Amino acid sequence: GDSVTQMEGPVTLSEEAFLTINCTYTATGYPSLFWYVQYPGEGLQLLLKATKADDKGSNKGFEATYRKETTSFHLEKGSVQVSDSAVYFCALSDRAQGGSEKLVFGKGTKLTVNP
Amino acid sequence: GAVVSQHPSRVICKSGTSVKIECRSLDFQATTMFWYRQFPKQSLMLMATSNEGSKATYEQGVEKDKFLINHASLTLSTLTVTSAHPEDSSFYICSAREAGGQRNEQFFGPGTRLTVL
């Protein structure tokens, strides 16, 4: 079945450091790919998404490119801020699954940014 | 827009009792709502998908008689954990898909922390 594997955390960075959180996937169809963010005490929020190969999703300085050849969707940010501290989830939604559009999540990566 | 609320945010109950968790879409109509369970340091695991006015579809391994789901209106779905036991303690999260919205976009609630003593 479909699955998502993302790098184990926690990740601790200093403010203005470069961030990469790796995510790879396996899917039987043509998935859409997502990054969700969960701030402390809050629900998941969609950070960015890409629906087809070579698409780049971007939001709030974060970027991720849908790489079909490497089945990856790595999250990057050039300069993190303390306010970026949160748990980040990579996810996929497979349109081949009879239209059910279920989301499959990775385990999440906790990011802490220190001032 | 696209706000989903859950109530309660935290609940503590005794073993053997039942607990009801509500999930509401506040500013949109949700034809489909999803219920997830999140264990510490683990991913969100889909428990069931509910469509307004019909029976929920449960994922493999999820007991439908233990986790009762009702989606009686386009803005409300409820999850009832029946005869709760300590192993049911977890973080339960709902999400909702807007009627007529993109099929792959879900809006998440803030979650409910259930502790069974």
Counting Cα atoms < 13 Å in the Cβ hemisphere of A25 gives 29
Handedness of CA B86, A107, A80, B93 (dihedral sign): negative
Of B41, B46, B93, the CB nearest to A43: B93
Q: Dump pLDDT digits (tens) for B22-37.
A: 999 998 888 889 999 9
Handedness of CA B103, B105, B107, B111 (dihedral sign): positive
Q: Dump pLDDT digits (tens) for B68-117.
A: 999 888 999 999 999 999 999 999 999 998 877 666 688 999 999 999 99
Cα B68 from Cα B32, distance rounded (Å): 16
Q: Is B106 on the interface with A (CB under 8 A)?
A: yes
CA distance A24 to chain B (A): 15
Give, for all 115 residues of chain A, the pLDDT tens digit. 889 999 888 999 999 999 999 999 999 888 999 999 999 878 889 999 999 999 999 999 999 999 999 999 999 999 999 999 999 999 998 765 455 578 899 999 999 999 9
Q: Residue B109: CB partners within 8 Å, gap ≥ 6?
A: A43, B4, B5, B6, B23, B93, B94, B95, B96
Of B34, B46, B111, the CB nearest to A43: B111
Q: Output the pLDDT for position A2.
A: 87
Q: Output the pLDDT for position A102.
A: 82
